[in-house]
Structure 1
Amino acid sequence: MQLLWLRSDLRQHDNTALSASAERGPTVAVYLISPEQWLAHDDAPCKVDFWLRNLCTLSDSLQRLNIPLLIRTADTWDQAPAVLLELCQQLGIDAVHVNEEYGIHETRRDHAVADALKAQGIGFHSYLDQLLFAPGSLLTQSGSYFKVFTQFRRLCYNRLHMALPKTVAAPKAQAALLIKRDSVPQAISGFETPPQALRDLWPAGEDEAHERLARFTSEQIHYYQDERDLPAKPGTSQLSTYLAAGVLSPRQCLHAALGSNNGEFESGSPGVFTWINELLWREFYKHVLVGFPRVSRHRAFKPETEYLPWRNAPAELAAWQEGRTGVPIVDAAIRQLLATGWMHNRLRMVVAMFLTKNLLIDWREGERFFMRHLIDGDLAANNGGWQWSASTGTDSVPYFRIFNPLSQSERFDSEGQFIKHWLPELAALNKKEVHNPASAGGLFGVANYPAPIVDLKKSRERALSAFKSLPSRQLLEVEHD
């Protein structure tokens, strides 16, 4: 008998480990509830709730294949080897099948499980599934992992032109087993169930995910290049939530995008090309996670930036976290995150740069806050985005390029529609005043809305000075030799 260990791959279709397991023989599936580990990783309550809801729908679809889904608890991943070994011995399992996950803790967990099982004669098989290319298969000419996205993307396209990753056929129903499936818990202690309004924004299940993918690739994708930066428009796919939980695979997304563009990459629809680039950014950051493990340890990719004089400013950090900075586009974006579990991609960059440059607060504070609230929270993408904005990471924005949130607001929300939706207290302002209420309300600003907590010009100069004072990379290399 085979055991499928589900993790961030909560789907029946195009699931490599599921198909491989079913081909080898009768299969049982298991999912580990790991609340202490999830807390340690700052997983958001809305994300945990999304996992549970998807597990419920997946359990039903697997049951139609006569594959029972079992639920076990391993509070931390250190307990996973013992929990899985006991289950394997109870059921007489010959081999465990998993789809690869990336990150230091995930890798250590899987190695520990594999060693424990193999010591008892039980096989452990892992498969490439949540990426188009295996980490280590795309390297520079010197044999190292890429540090620059454009070079990485170029090699990705070369490989994709040679051969597209194929989707995997879903297994057929197997003979019924004398094993009853377990009930999926509706909630986990330590993770508050989110409001129903938030849950309604993100229905669970593969059917919903595929409907959204089909709708996006048949309609919106062709406008993606022009509208993806406009937060008041539905210009993005909002599929990241389903990709992060593995309800969709990147292969399914790639094939759907190409299908809407007659199989073409660079030619045809510029929107398709631009969206595929976003899939490759996701790929890039996961490869970085594997190639440069320090980013899993809360370390800056650029060693010299560890010396940045980050400010300890708890009141300003709290104002940022609560959407009280007095900068409308920042506050509106934070309110969107708190209410929906999601934030528009352009605004993720704007609010991240405001925190790390204008407030000069450590990017790790922002990274942690995002993970605690994002329903699509993903270590690689979140860390990569924050380090890009903070100018501490691989392929990061140059430190002297600091977004002006007012200019960003005027450019990408010119009518103030997004701001007024999330900050109704500013609804009476005209489209010029709404971006900077302090300039509209005289000495006292606008009632019920705070004055800016920082001077944008002076804080920009402070950030530039902090970066300019850093020791050079060459000096650091001499010091560490």
Structure 2
Amino acid sequence: MNQLLWLRTDLRVSDNNALNAAMSAGPTVALYLITPGQWRAHDDAPCKVDFWLRNLTELSARLSELNVPLLIRSVEDWQGVPALIADLCRTYEIDTLHVNDEYGVNEQCRDEAVAAALQQTRTSMRRHLDQLLFAPGTITTLSGGYFKVFSQFRKLCYARLTQSLPACVPVPDRQPSLPIVSDSVLPTVEGFAQPSDYLRSLWPAGEDLAQLRLARFAENDLADYQQRRDFPAEPGTSQISAYLAAGVVSPRQCLHAALRANRGELDSGNPGAVTWINELLWREFYKHILVGYPHVSMGRGFRRETEALPWRHAPDELAAWQQGRTGFPIIDAAMRQLLATGWMHNRLRMIVAMFLSKNLLIDWREGERWFMQHLIDGDLAANNGGWQWSASTGTDSVPYFRLFNPLSQSAKFDPDGSFLRRWLPELAELDKRGIHNPAKLNGLLAGVDYPSQIIDLPMSRDRALSAFRQLGEAL
């Protein structure tokens, strides 16, 4: 009985539950859909689309080793997917369509439409757990609801993981050859510019390279992760997020790598390993939030009352933030890092998000969209969760009265200015004190192409606090 594996954000052959189940059930054909209109609608970054397709090329070779043909089809958006898949299932006499579950509202509606279309065929649809350690709806409060507080969610996750760790499934055995020819040439995708060679070099494709990056991090850097992760000039983070977002590596593989390095300990032992495992659980938490509170993936604040906040329409200030021309070096360096590399250090994501949503009082959705349009690791759940945390509109978010001061954050986490000099070469000659706040240097910056600060920090802080206080008084 022929099986069809529909690949989405699961571009690997190792620890792939849908692939394993399909090949266990019968002769398997794989499918990947090019959907440029949908990618544009979801603000997917050109560098991310390029990363997907580069990984798809690598995956095609791995599938060929397993004698699994890969079909590549193009359809403008997800509206055309149900009919396309139903036709393929008829053509190849497919018994079961296998997919690894995805969790946004649009993704869930798409899969429900495909399942409905398959009711007119002889094909059934089977969904598998892949992006998460726990299926949504299995980690709940005593009343059966979804958690809103991460610490409570994490506690139950630890209890479940202590009882039973999710296993990584091996690469399936090669199947007999099928009389189906793989599509070896990727179609041209209009409207998505190819990123620079420099950016591509930072994110090599393929699960072998992803596994090597994970192994090196676990062996060499995990132990110091807690101490080094907040310093953007240091290579203290895993650089795994893009591979997780595209499914080139699984969360189970990440968890097991951390546990091996920490002698099997989940919440004790090496503080760096424990902290990194907590980051995996934050990722888990935000995906569960998508399912339990679907309005967050429809452009709404988790805390519905925050929809009444008086966001400012300030296009010039928004553009200055986007291009790294605010006059605040840590903000500008972070935004330029994003534009050049498709990635931003996590500490900096919080700093720039809070600056936009509170100091500038610009709607957090403008920042969420800009990040998705440029991040190679753009992920709906994590990006939305992080932005709403910083803007104090989300679940378990930072209190509204907590604002990161970009000047003190810069001095604390880039004390000698190394990160600033890397991305702001026009300030490279300043000393390690002056580089954090060049506005204080007055005439010493004459002739340097660096902007004045676009806002007064104390004023902007007071404005944000007043807006949130008035919101509270109106309830």
TM-score (norm 2): 0.98
User: What's 2:55 paired with?
Assistant: 54
Q: Secondary structure at the match of 1:30?
A: strand
User: What's 1:341 paired with?
Assistant: 342
* 1:290 pairs with 2:264: no
After TM superposition, the structure 1 = structure 2 runs for residues 29-108 of structure 1, keeping only pairs within 5 Å, are 29-108=30-109
* 1:156 pairs with 2:157: yes
Kindly provide the CA deviation profile for residues 284-314 of structure 1, in whole angstroms up to 9, marking residues without a partner as x: 0000010000001100011111010000000
CA contact 2:259–2:266 (8 Å) conserved in 1: yes
Of 313-322 and 436-445, deviating more is 436-445
Alpha-carbon distance in structure 2 between the residues aligned to 1:444 and 1:412: 24
Deviation at 1:23, TM superposition (A): 0.4
User: What's 2:273 paired with?
Assistant: 272
Q: Secondary structure at the match of 2:285?
A: helix
Kindly provide the CA deviation profile for residues 130-182 of structure 1, in whole angstroms up to 9, marking residues without a partner as x: 10000000111121100000010000000000010011121111110111100
- Could you tell me which amino acid in structure 1 is paired with residue 372 of structure 2? M
Alpha-carbon distance in structure 2 between the residues aligned to 1:251 and 1:472: 45
* 1:113 pairs with 2:114: yes
Structure 2, unaligned runs of 5 or more = none
CA contact 1:230–1:413 (8 Å) conserved in 2: yes
User: What's 1:14 paired with?
Assistant: 15
Of 116-125 and 452-461, deviating more is 116-125
Deviation at 1:183, TM superposition (A): 2.2
RMSD: 1.1
- Could you tell me which amino acid in structure 1 is paired with residue 288 of structure 2? H
User: What's 1:132 paired with?
Assistant: 133
- Could you tell me which amino acid in structure 2 is paired with residue 51 of structure 1? W
User: What's 1:479 paired with?
Assistant: none
Kindly provide the CA deviation profile for residues 244-272 of structure 1, in whole angstroms up to 9, marking residues without a partner as x: 00000000000000000110112211000
User: What's 1:175 paired with?
Assistant: 176
After TM superposition, the structure 1 = structure 2 runs for residues 167-316 of structure 1, keeping only pairs within 5 Å, are 167-185=168-186, 187-316=188-317
- Could you tell me which amino acid in structure 2 is paired with residue 449 of structure 1? Y
Deviation at 1:65, TM superposition (A): 0.6
Deviation at 1:443, TM superposition (A): 8.4
- Could you tell me which amino acid in structure 1 is paired with residue 251 of structure 2? P
Q: Secondary structure at the match of 2:72?
A: strand
CA contact 1:223–1:235 (8 Å) conserved in 2: yes
Percent of paired sites with the same residue: 65
User: What's 1:4 paired with?
Assistant: 5
Alpha-carbon distance in structure 2 between the residues aligned to 1:437 and 1:257: 41
CA contact 1:438–1:445 (8 Å) conserved in 2: no
CA contact 1:357–1:402 (8 Å) conserved in 2: yes
Alpha-carbon distance in structure 1 between the residues aligned to 2:151 and 2:447: 44
Deviation at 1:447, TM superposition (A): 1.6
Of 115-124 and 190-199, deviating more is 115-124
- Could you tell me which amino acid in structure 1 is paired with residue 329 of structure 2? P
Deviation at 1:472, TM superposition (A): 5.6
User: What's 1:394 paired with?
Assistant: 395
After TM superposition, the structure 1 = structure 2 runs for residues 398-477 of structure 1, keeping only pairs within 5 Å, are 398-442=399-443, 447-471=448-472, 475=475
CA contact 1:310–1:360 (8 Å) conserved in 2: yes
Structure 1, unaligned runs of 5 or more = 476-481
Q: Secondary structure at the match of 2:119?
A: helix
- Could you tell me which amino acid in structure 1 is paired with residue 260 of structure 2? G
TM-score (norm 1): 0.97
Q: Cα–Cα, structure 1 residues 273 and 373, in superposed 2: closer, same or farther, change >3 Å?
A: same
Alpha-carbon distance in structure 2 between the residues aligned to 1:199 and 1:209: 14
